[in-house]
Amino acid sequence: MEDIDFDWWADFVNIKKNSIEDDEYLKICQLHSHYFNHSFRKPCKCSPKEINRWIKDLNELYDNQRSTRMGEGGS
């Protein structure tokens, strides 16, 4: 994960709330398409199942990166 995306995700996951703003939704869609190599698209907001899966995928990527970075003396 690129540094700017890593930092954005770190801020995003540290804010505890039950919904996401439109700009966060768009960013999640952009990040997922970039890091999971698929065409950009925005899943329907009527059912949060897919966006929640994307958030889970990005959380796993972030957690793996965080572990690696901490092992290298990073934050």
24-57 pLDDT, tens digit per residue, is 999 999 999 999 999 999 999 898 999 999 999 9
Q: Please give the C-alpha separations between residue 8 and each of 27, 44, 46, 47, 49, in angstroms, as whole numbers.
A: 9, 23, 25, 25, 22
Contact 28, 51 (CB under 8 A): yes
Task: Determine the pLDDT at residue 13.
Answer: 93
**Is 60 exceeded by the pLDDT of residue 73?**
no
DSSP symbols for 12-29: HHHS--SS--HHHHHHHH
Task: Determine the pLDDT at residue 69.
Answer: 83
